[in-house]
Amino acid sequence: MAAVRRLSRSSSAAPLRRLLFLRPFSSSFSADDQRVLTVETSLPFIGHKIDPPSRSVDTTPNELFSFFRDMSLMRRMEIAADSLYKAKLIRGFCHLYDGQEAVAVGMEAAITKRDAIITAYRDHCIYLGRGGSLVEAFAELMGRRAGCSRGKGGSMHFYKKDAGFYGGHGIVGAQVPLGCGVAFAQKYSKDENVTFAMYGDGAANQGQLFEALNISALWDLPVILVCENNHYGMGTAEWRAAKSPAYYKRGDYVPGLKILEMDTYRYHGHSMSDPGSTYRTRDEISGVRQERDPIERIRKLILSYELATAAELKDIEKEVRKAVDEAIAQAKESPMPDPSELFTNVYVKGFGVEAFGADRKEVKALLP
C-alpha cells in the first residue's frame, strides 16, 4: 500500500535525477530550474477498490529531461541489440522492450534502489533503469565475461543484486511468486521497502499468478504486481487469451490501478525470432508509434514548455547514440567466459560436485 501512496504523490517529490549535459542549452532551461510544471495525463487512472490518483501530475524540467534521456538510451540500446542479433553477435533468444520504455522509467521515478524489482525476460531496460551499465548489458547479451551475469545468463537473465534487481526470468509467470517471497523477506526485516513483481498479459493467465495474488493478500505482503500489458502474449492477442483483459481487476480483493503507461506496446515481435507481423498489422504498429510513442510524448512536452529546442533534443539523442556505440565497442573486447565456468555455480563451490568434462574425464571438486 505504501508504494501506491507513493505513486499518487506528485512526482516532484521524487529525488531529482542528476544529468550529464555536454553543452548548455540556449533556451530558457538551466539545470537549476526548479519550477514545477503540472501536466495532465492523457487518460485518467482507473482504480479497482482504491481511489485512483489525480490525473494532474507535477513534474520539473530536470525530471522531464531525465525521462527523455533515459528512454532514448533504452530505445537506442534495444535497436542496437536488434542489429547485433542480426549480425549474429547476440545468439539465443532476445526479447526487446522498445515501445515500453515508459514503464521502466516511470516506475524508477517513483521508487528507490532499496525497493526490489523482479521481472520476466524482457528485462534489458529494467536493468538499465536499476542503474545497470550499458557495457555490462551488451557484454551479457553477447555472452561475454564482463556481462552482469558473467556471460552465463544471456538476454533473459540480467541481475543486479546491489540495486535490488532480482532478474531476468525465462519461464513465464514464474517470477511472480518469487516476488512475493522477496516481499515477505522485506516485511519480515521491517525495512519499509516494497517489491515490484512484473509480468505481462500473457503471464496473467498462469495459475501461479493467482496463487501469488492469494498469498500476497492473505499475508499482507508489500508487493505490487505490475502487469505490463502490451496486448500480445507472443502471438495471441489479449482478447483471445483472457475472458477479462482488465488485468488490474484480476486481484479481486486486491486493489488495482490501471495506469496509462502500463497499457503499453512493443514494436518488435515477441522475440527476435518472431517477425511480429503474423498476428498484427503493420498499420497497427505504425499507428501506435505515431500516436503513443512515449519518447515522442516527452519530446512534445519539453518543446511545448520551451525547455529546449528540437535541435537540442536531437543532440541528447546523438549523445545517447554515441554512449551506446562506445559501450558496444567496449563489450566486444571482453572475452568469452573460460570453459571451466561451464561447471561453476551448479551447486555452491566445492560442495562435492562431480561432473563429466568435455574430454570424458570426471571432474571432481573435493569437500573442504
Partner 1 sequence: MALRGLGRRISIGKRCFSSASEVEKPPRDGKPINLFSAINQALHIALETDPRAYVFGEDVGFGGVFRCTTGLTDRFGRNRVFNTPLCEQGIAGFAIGLAAMGNRAIAEIQFADYIYPAFDQIVNEAAKFRYRSGNQFNCGGLTIRSPYGAVGHGGHYHSQSPEAFFCHVPGLKVVIPRSPQQAKGLLLACIRDPNPVVFFEPKWLYRLAVEEVPEHDYMLPLSQAEVTRQGSDITLVGWGAQLSVLEHACDEAAKDGISCELIDLRTLIPWDKETVEASVRKTGRLLVSHEAPVTGGFGAEISASIAECCFLRHGLQLEAPVARICGLDTPFPLVYEPFYMPTKNKVLDAIKTTVNY
- Which residues sit at the interface with partner 1, rule CB under 8 A? 91-93, 143, 151-154, 156-157, 170-173, 202-203, 205-208, 233-236, 240-242, 273-274, 278-279, 336-337, 339, 341-343, 346, 354-356, 358, 360
- Nearer residue to partner 1 within complex by CB, 282 or 360: 360
- Nearer residue to partner 1 within complex by CB, 42 or 244: 244
Question: Minimum CB separation from partner 1 for residue 66, in Å?
Answer: 33
Find, among 345, 363, 342, 343, the residue nearest to 354 by Cα.
363
76: left (phi over 0), alpha (psi -120 to 50) or beta: alpha
Question: Minimum CB separation from partner 1 for residue 269, in Å?
Answer: 11
- Nearer residue to partner 1 within complex by CB, 283 or 354: 354
Question: Minimum CB separation from partner 1 for residue 194, in Å?
Answer: 26
Long-range contacts of 159-163 (CB under 8 A, 24+ apart): 160/127, 160/130, 160/131, 160/132, 162/113, 163/113, 163/130, 163/131, 163/132
H-helix or E-strand containing 260?
A: none
Question: Minimum CB separation from partner 1 for residue 157, in Å?
Answer: 8
- Nearer residue to partner 1 within complex by CB, 301 or 365: 365
The DSSP secondary-structure symbol of 204 reads G
CA distance 89 to 154: 12
- Nearer residue to partner 1 within complex by CB, 309 or 344: 344
- Nearer residue to partner 1 within complex by CB, 151 or 179: 151
Question: Minimum CB separation from partner 1 for residue 241, in Å?
Answer: 4
Burial class (CB in 10 A: 0-12, 13-18, 19+), 88: exposed
Question: Cβ neighbours of residue 280 under 8 Å, at least 6 residues apart?
Answer: 232, 237
Question: Minimum CB separation from partner 1 for residue 359, in Å?
Answer: 8
